[in-house]
Amino acid sequence: MSLEDCNSWQKLLKQARVYRVIVLWKALSTYNKHLIIMNSVGDTVLKQIELERRERERAKKGLERKNRFETLSGIEIKCFYKPEDIKNLNYEKDLGDPGHYPFTRGIYETMYRGRLWTIRMFSGFGSPRETNSRWKDLIAHGETGLSCAFDYPTLLGYDSDDPLARGEVGRCGVSVSCIKDMEELWNGIPIGRITVNYTINTPAIYILACHFALAEAQGYPLAEVSGTTQNDMLKEFIGQKSYRFPPEPHVNIVIDIIKFCVKNTPKWHPISVSGYHIREAGATPVQELAWTIANGITYIEKCLEAGLNVDDVAPIFSFFFACGDNFFEEIAKFRAARRIWAKIMRERFNAKKSSSLILRFHTQTAGHTLTYQYPELNIVRVAIQALAAVLGGTQSLHTNSFDEAICVPTEKAARIATLTQRVIAHETGVADVIDPLGGSYYVEWLTNEIENRAWSEIEKIERMGGVIECIKSGYFLVEIAKSANEYRRKIEGGEIEKVGVNILQPAELKYDFKPLKIPLELEYERRKLLSEFRKSRDLQKVNYVLDKLRRAAEKNDFLFPVVLEAVKSKATIGEVMHVFEEVYGRYREPTIF
Amino acid sequence: MEKKIRVLIAKPGLNGHDRGAKIVARGLAEEGMEVIYAGLWNTPEQIVETAIQEDVDVIGLSILSGAHDVLVPEVLKILKEKGVDNVIVIVGGTIPLEDVKLLKDYGVKEVFLPGTTIPEIAKFIRQIVHKTE
């Protein structure tokens, strides 16, 4: 290169630097003066680019069935995935071997090769005696863990003879009002040897106290008793709606129960942070995941505020998700859930134990996917959903009965549902290799996508002041109403197809089984039994303990030991909950639809 | 302008599954009806009282707990006792076919089962209300 050349190069470089400065200055001043115009112009340009891209894709596709393919969370999906879609995926950092951080592939090293998932059928109806015999039948047909469904009076903490309970006693779950009912429920089943999940929230403290009192009376040390109480009140305000008091006192009782279990029952999972009901109420899979994790964070924070240690609490936390129709989206959701929780526990809460980092979860196939039309087809839906849950690495599983859009499960339907899990477990080979879909371009891409969307939703909730604030402001109700309505529109518009509902409808609605009906006489019989139970007690003793409970609630004292005393003194569920309602007041949600 | 049809959507009993009730409430509002959503945990007495106060043409009851055979007849009975004869009652939920007939015998105008669309419900309401007027 000559000297002249060199000089002209320097000149050019200098000019370029000056030009850069001018461009930068121009950009900044424009930015300052015309921020809004810039933004809207930018948006328009981006929108135009996006539209053109879609147009091109559509033209290219031409022969595809739809203009847009998307998951139930509204995530647009391409026609296939390849290495470049997951080019930043780092095996050690993002996946890890099963049983290793961040647990994307599964929480245990051996998973189902070591032990199959627990077949846990959510079951309960009528009187404790009837449910007891259904439980025994399910155990005889391959069930390996129990899960108790309570009726609505019990779920809300009303006695079966309460005027508000009329028409509802034993109808969609078992009716339990006192310790004697719990004794009947467990008659002939070894309470200390089989694990049970109680789907109970508002009166969880009462039911759990009954369980512990009963186990102790039967000679099982509390340290050995194993099972789960759902005890997740935050999701009640979002989904299931069986709350009675404002969120804060409800959450305080949740933490009270956790506190008792940390100290006395290390094998009991005092809480199952549940997305299932959020999903059933209308949320998308991404909302289900994000809100459940946000609720989990809230509970951990409250435990720490109560002076508990993260590594004492986190290992006894458990979770509960739904498994709906979109096969791969559900699998990706479960994988993303494990990775998010592991990161939160390690990075945010500095948990040290490996058992504090793992998200262990129960799955139930999604009830809202069942159809009234061609009910037998639900057997197929449930089997596919159950397969997704297994491929997603669930720890326990409930499979819905095919008749559940019509009535409480009949015995035959419940047996088929239970045995469906056995077919998956023993005949298909899917339990022999852990996370067999790990490494799939699509599943890994979708796992990342769901994780990212869940993180932004969690951050959004925290920016709005956290879960309890969002409950009170009605945020969740607004969002759920939107999602549920969107789902309804898509079914009515045919974008989401359901066999028998909006395609291939039957000429007439019919089925060839006899729906299970809980006779009204049961309600009268239950009232009679409860009145006999009331007569059998030392009323002075009951009133003494209830007074003690009231004072403890007013002073924010440790409640569990007092409730345990109340249970043993034969106070009923309604009496205990009534004391709480007097102290805490009643909550009603804002009217949003 | 034609008077808007007024609909009360309510959930009797203790059952908290409000997805269907809210969807129908929103859907009928989008169809141009005046919708009052009574929320959860209504007793039959409260439902009738609200219906009278709000001067509705239609009461829509949503039940998924199996309590329909007790709570729905009670609503109808109280309506009768109060002399309300210009309000139609419709029901939605998980209700066995066997009970659909039973509810209609009690005086329920229609039972909408899972899979029903909003336009179907809206069309039914318009037909009945405009016929009675």
Which strand (E) or helix (H) includes residue B52? helix B44-53
Which strand (E) or helix (H) includes residue A320? strand A317-323
- Structural domain for B23, as ranges: 6-132
Q: Rounded to the nearest 10 degrees, what angle do helices A411-427 and A377-391 cross at?
A: 40
In chain B, what residues touch A498 (CB-CB under 8 Å)? 115
Smallest Cα distance from A392 to chain B, Å: 27
Smallest Cα distance from A202 to chain B, Å: 13
C-alpha distances (whole Å) from A415 to each of A61, A190, B1, B116 are 45, 22, 58, 29
For chain B, the distance separating the N- and C-terminal CA atoms, rounded to the nearest angstrom, is 15
Smallest Cα distance from B86 to chain A, Å: 26
The answer to whether residue B31 sits within a structural domain is yes
Please tell me the distance from the alpha carbon of residue A210 to that of residue A339, in angstroms, as a whole number: 36
The answer to whether residue B1 sits within a structural domain is no
Q: What is the pLDDT of residue A50?
A: 76
DSSP state of B61: E
Cβ–Cβ below 8 Å for B37 and A591: yes
In chain B, what residues touch A165 (CB-CB under 8 Å)? 14
- Residue A331 identity (one-letter amino acid): I
The answer to whether residue B10 sits within a structural domain is yes
Q: What is the pLDDT of residue A348?
A: 98
Taken as a whole, chain A contains a residue count of: 593
pLDDT along chain A (593 residues), means of 10: 55 60 57 58 72 67 85 97 97 98 98 96 95 94 92 97 96 96 96 94 98 96 96 97 97 98 96 98 98 98 98 97 98 98 98 98 98 98 98 98 95 96 98 98 98 98 98 97 97 96 96 93 96 97 98 98 98 98 96 92
Cβ–Cβ below 8 Å for B23 and A168: no
CA angle in degrees (0–180, nearest 5) for A567-A573-A576: 75
Q: Is A298 exposed, middle or buried (0-12, 13-18, 19+ CB in 10 A)?
A: buried
For position B20, which CATH number holds? 3.40.50.280
Question: Judging by DSSP bridges, how do beta strands A317-323 and A271-274 pair with one another?
Answer: parallel
In chain B, what residues touch A593 (CB-CB under 8 Å)? 21-23, 25-26, 35, 37
Q: What is the pLDDT of residue A9?
A: 60
Q: What is the pLDDT of residue B131?
A: 83
**DSSP notation for A116-169:** PPEEEEEE--BSHHHHHHHHHHHHHTT--EEEEPBPHHHHHT--TTSGGGTTTT
Total domains in the fold of chain B: 1
Residues 6+ apart with CB under 8 A from A33: none
Answer for the pair A343, A102: CB distance below 8 angstroms, yes or no: yes
The answer to whether residue B113 sits within a structural domain is yes
C-alpha distances (whole Å) from A390 to each of A97, A111, A117, B10 are 17, 10, 8, 39
Q: How many other C-beta atoms can be found within 10 angstroms of the C-beta atom of residue A217? A: 12
Please tell me the distance from the alpha carbon of residue A173 to that of residue A185, in angstroms, as a whole number: 12
Name the CA dihedral angle for A332, A335, A340, A345, rounded to a multiple of 10 degrees.
170
Cβ–Cβ below 8 Å for A167 and B70: yes
Please tell me the distance from the alpha carbon of residue A372 to that of residue B93, in angstroms, as a whole number: 11
Share in percent of chain A as helix, strand, coil (round to 5): 55, 10, 35
Please tell me the distance from the alpha carbon of residue B119 to that of residue B122, in angstroms, as a whole number: 5
C-alpha distances (whole Å) from B42 to each of A143, A144, B68, B104 are 37, 39, 13, 21
- Determine the residue of chain A that is closest to B25 in CA distance: A593
Strand ranges (E), B20-114: 34-37, 58-63, 88-93, 110-112
Q: How many residue contacts between A and B have a Cβ separation below 8 Å?
A: 110
Answer for the pair A128, A573: CB distance below 8 angstroms, yes or no: no
Which strand (E) or helix (H) includes residue A11? helix A3-33
Q: How many other C-beta atoms can be found within 10 angstroms of the C-beta atom of residue A426? A: 11
Q: What is the pLDDT of residue A1?
A: 46
The answer to whether residue B100 sits within a structural domain is yes
Cβ–Cβ below 8 Å for B14 and A407: no
Mutate to test the interface with B, among A125, A154, A168 (most CBs of B within 10 A): A168
The answer to whether residue B107 sits within a structural domain is yes
Tell me the whole-structure pTM to 2 decimals.
0.90
In chain B, what residues touch A518 (CB-CB under 8 Å)? 66
Cβ–Cβ below 8 Å for A158 and B14: yes
User: What does the block give as tokens for A312?
Assistant: 């004492």
Residues 6+ apart with CB under 8 A from B120: B112
The answer to whether residue B26 sits within a structural domain is yes
Cβ–Cβ below 8 Å for B16 and A373: no
**DSSP notation for A328-377:** HHHHHHHHHHHHHHHHIIIIIT---SHHHH---EEEEE-GGG--SSSTTH
Q: Name the residue among B19, B35, B94 with its Cβ closest to that of A281.
A: B19
In chain B, what residues touch A172 (CB-CB under 8 Å)? 15, 64-66
Cβ–Cβ below 8 Å for A484 and B22: yes
Please tell me the distance from the alpha carbon of residue A449 to that of residue A452, in angstroms, as a whole number: 5
Cβ–Cβ below 8 Å for A164 and B14: yes
Please tell me the distance from the alpha carbon of residue A261 to that of residue A269, in angstroms, as a whole number: 8
Domains recognised in chain A with CATH numbers: 102-493 (3.20.20.240)
Cβ–Cβ below 8 Å for A171 and B67: yes
pLDDT digits over B75-84, tens only?
A: 999 999 999 9
Smallest Cα distance from B42 to chain A, Å: 9
- Determine the residue of chain B that is closest to A282 in CA distance: B19
Please tell me the distance from the alpha carbon of residue A254 to that of residue A232, in angstroms, as a whole number: 7
